[in-house]
Amino acid sequence: MKSRAEGCDMQQSAYLLEYDRRRILNCADTFENLAAVFSEMNNGEEDGAELADRETRLQQSMAQESRKNYAYQMRQLAGMMADVAATHVQLIRLGGRQEKQIVRALAGEGIFVQDIFLLRGKEDRLEISVSLCTKKDTSVTVEEIAGYLSVLMDIRLMPQKRNPYFIGEEPVSLYFEEEPSYCYMTAVSSAIKENEVVSGDSFSFLEEDGNVTMILSDGMGSGEQAAQDSGRIVDLAERILEAGLDGKSAVRMLNTMVEASGDENHMATLDMCRINLRNGECHFSKAGAASTFIKRGPLVEKVESDALPLGMMQQGTEKGSVQQLKDGDMVIMVSDGVLQDWPCGDSEFFLVQQMEMLPVTSPVDMANLLLQYVIGQCQGRIRDDMTILALGIWENEND
């Protein structure tokens, strides 16, 4: 039975959560209103546009486009805030015999638990919040604590990213979540253009909030400048995704940034594949990128897009596609250089044939063998930077 003090604490926590939720919603409304104001300013200028001279019309057009972009970004911020505010978290105090067993078992390892809660929120995901410390002159890792809790609670748990790695005498709050349904393995194989010392391609594998994202960018040209341009795009894409936006929104924001720079010599492509490790759903977002391939057993499916590179896309033309991945599937992403300058012609057709023929299940083997095959088809010449990313997913085994 709950004590009166515990009941008051829970009521106070609920009140504070509701208070914060309302403040976030007020901020979201403010950004939404500002977006509406920018849109109305554009509508008001249309009537007088025909009377203005050519230079004035050009300036008005540029100003209208900038306001459209600002309005879009503010609506994105408003949507993110509304999503956060709409997230309902159920706070459950463990209590009873199970909590006593956990406290006693961890104390035997020199770990002293002060509070432990279950949090059930978005997508019915289960999270564990634990406040604890260790005895004097003792430290344990957050991975070790995740292992202890997994055994004691009979749930496969993993620490969230922002936990400290080592825990000592100072009390700290740690957060753990259920292990996702899928695990994954990644690989990359690349070759630098002849007579260059660095690749103009940049890539990243980003894991955040139960998702893993493959990001690949090909800078215009080759060498150091292309590497800087593509590296900047990959870095910004990571930051946008970590802020909570989806792939389509990331493409649109990056296109706006590159377009605003006004330098056509610093454009780059963007290729993103974001996989939800809880349900296997895979979202593709492309801007001027080569086709991506999904290998399932002996069959290969192609994912393509006709979108232009960043800085050249028209606003509102961003497209994406969704595929459902299954146990054992492999996603293969390539830069433009992999498919260019094949003497035999239809490079995509022959590359797909080779993928279907390779009986490998390891992303490392797939990436390496494909790169060897491509270089062989190009008669040993590397006339452009080549990058191949491969990612395989498998269902986690239930112990």
Residue 40, token pair as written in the block: 């109305």
Instruction: Identify the residue with better confidence: 303 or 7.
Output: 303
Instruction: Give 252's pLDDT tier (boundaries 50, 70, 90).
Output: confident
Strand spans (E) along the chain? 90-93, 111-120, 126-134, 140-141, 157-159, 166-167, 172-178, 182-191, 201-208, 211-218, 270-276, 281-287, 292-296, 299-303, 320-324, 330-334, 386-395
How confident is the model at residue 15, as a pLDDT? 47
Q: What is the pLDDT of residue 179?
A: 87
Q: Report whether 42 contacts 68 (CB < 8 A).
A: yes
Report the alpha-carbon distance of residue 362 to residue 325 in Å, rounded: 16
The band of 16, judged by pLDDT with boundaries at 50, 70 and 90, is very low
* pLDDT tens column, 188-239: 999 999 989 999 999 999 988 789 999 999 988 888 999 999 999 999 898 8
pLDDT at 184 over 90: yes
φ and ψ of 363, to 5 deg = -60, -35
User: Residue 122's pLDDT is what?
Assistant: 62
What's the pLDDT tens digit per position in 89-104? 667 777 778 888 999 9
Contacts of residues 85-88 at CB distance under 8 Å and 24 or more positions apart, as own/partner, are: 85/21, 85/22, 85/24, 85/25, 85/28, 87/121, 87/122, 88/121
pLDDT in tens, 306-344: 878 887 777 666 677 899 999 999 999 999 999 988 887
The region of weakest confidence among 18-27, 75-84, 248-257, 359-368 is 18-27
- From residue 42, alpha-carbon distances to 61, 83, 252, 316 in Å are 9, 28, 20, 16
The yes-or-no verdict on residue 49 having pLDDT over 50 is no
pLDDT higher than 70, residue 255 = yes
Q: Please tell me the pTM assigned to this model.
A: 0.77
Closest C-alpha among 349, 391, 355 to residue 370: 355
Q: Whole-angstrom Cα distance, residue 72 to residue 245?
A: 13
pLDDT score, position 259? 75
